[in-house]
């Protein structure tokens, strides 16, 4: 694809994804833009379906939605509350560790810088970027498997890992698209541009896509 095509692609995707649900963490962010809720929802969402994450997040936030009070919840209670998210026991330990650091080091405030967020247990670049963008509306580029796959499939970049994709996009993607880019490509990837056999026959950006690595489509 041509470098200038990205603006047209973004414009088309903004209209196209309105027919589908946005990612769960985005839904959480839209409900008050609370960085702590965004952070905890991100932790719960790892290797877990959106519907499961949504239900677990809702149950947990009904009990408490701040670090100090979350520390007082017994581990077993939290495990039962967030089950059946993937690795719910590990996530309980990570959430407790994060809450302890937030209370002791940051006065219960979630950091708004990626480097600081990466110091928290269980927080990688994907989660850190989501907290910065969705929790604080600051510039960042969250890259998950969908963003990595589609950016390469389009031919916009050529990278081998999500982390390399993030840094490649930081160099090439216009900053005005940084925050929205994840929502657009995740929603698009979940519903149309799937990992195996993407639905190219009705793809609204087909004419701009190089279809890199696509061996079979519908």
Domain 5-22+141-208 grouped into CATH 3.30.70.330: no
What is the residue extent of each domain of the chain? 5-22+141-208, 34-136
Count of Cβ atoms closer than 10 Å to residue 41 Cβ? 28
Predicted confidence band at 30 (pLDDT cuts at 50, 70, 90)? Answer: confident
- Predicted confidence (pLDDT) per residue in 206-215, tens digit: 999 999 999 9
**For position 196, what pLDDT does the model report?**
94
Mean pLDDT (the chain) is 96
Angle formed at CA 157 by CA 155 and CA 159, multiple of 5 degrees: 115
Q: What is the pLDDT of residue 131?
A: 97
What is the distance between the terminal CA atoms of the chain, rounded to a whole angstrom? 21
The three-point CA angle 43-44-48 to 5° equals 120
Q: What are phi and psi of 67, to 5 degrees?
A: -60, -45
Tell the burial category of 115 from Cβ atoms under 10 Å away from its Cβ (0-12, 13-18, 19+). exposed
Q: Give CA angle at 120 (117, 123), nearest 5°.
A: 75
pLDDT at 193: 98
Q: Give tens-digit pLDDT for 16-27.
A: 999 999 998 999
At the topology level of CATH, where does 34-136 sit? Endonuclease III; domain 1 (1.10.340)
Burial code (b: 16+ CB inside 10 Å, e: under 16) for 85-112 equals: beebeebbebbbebbeebbeeeeeebbe
Q: Cβ distance 37 to 26 under 8 Å?
A: no
Eight-state DSSP code of residue 133: I
Residue whose C-alpha is closest to residue 102's, from 58, 32, 40: 40
- How far is it, in rounded angstroms, from Cα 209 to Cα 55? 36
- Whether omega before 69 lies within 30 degrees of 0, making that bond cis, reads no
Confidence of residue 32 (pLDDT cuts 50, 70, 90): confident
Phi, psi of 111 (to 5 degrees): -60, 150
């Amino acid at each position: 694809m041509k470098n200038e095509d990205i603006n047209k692609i973004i414009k088309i995707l903004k209209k196209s994804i309105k027919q589908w649900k946005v990612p769960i963490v985005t839904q959480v962010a839209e409900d008050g833009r609370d960085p702590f809720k965004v952070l905890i929802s991100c932790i719960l969402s790892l290797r877990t379906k959106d519907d499961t994450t949504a239900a677990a997040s809702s149950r947990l936030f009904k009990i408490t939605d701040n670090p100090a009070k979350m520390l007082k919840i017994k581990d077993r209670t939290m495990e039962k509350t967030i089950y059946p998210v993937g690795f719910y026991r590990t996530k309980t330990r990570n959430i407790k560790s994060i809450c302890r650091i937030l209370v002791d080091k940051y006065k219960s405030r979630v950091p708004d810088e990626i480097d600081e967020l990466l110091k928290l247990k269980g927080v990688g670049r994907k989660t850190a970027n989501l907290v910065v963008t969705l929790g604080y509306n600051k510039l960042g580029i969250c890259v998950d498997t969908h963003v990595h796959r589609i950016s390469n499939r389009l031919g916009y970049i050529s990278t081998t890992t999500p982390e390399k994709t993030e840094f490649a996009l930081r160099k090439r993607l216009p900053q005005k698209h940084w925050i929205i880019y994840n929502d657009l490509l995740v929603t698009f990837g979940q519903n149309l541009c799937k990992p195996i056999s993407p639905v190219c026959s009705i793809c609204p950006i087909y004419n701009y896509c190089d279809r890199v690595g696509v061996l079979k489509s519908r």
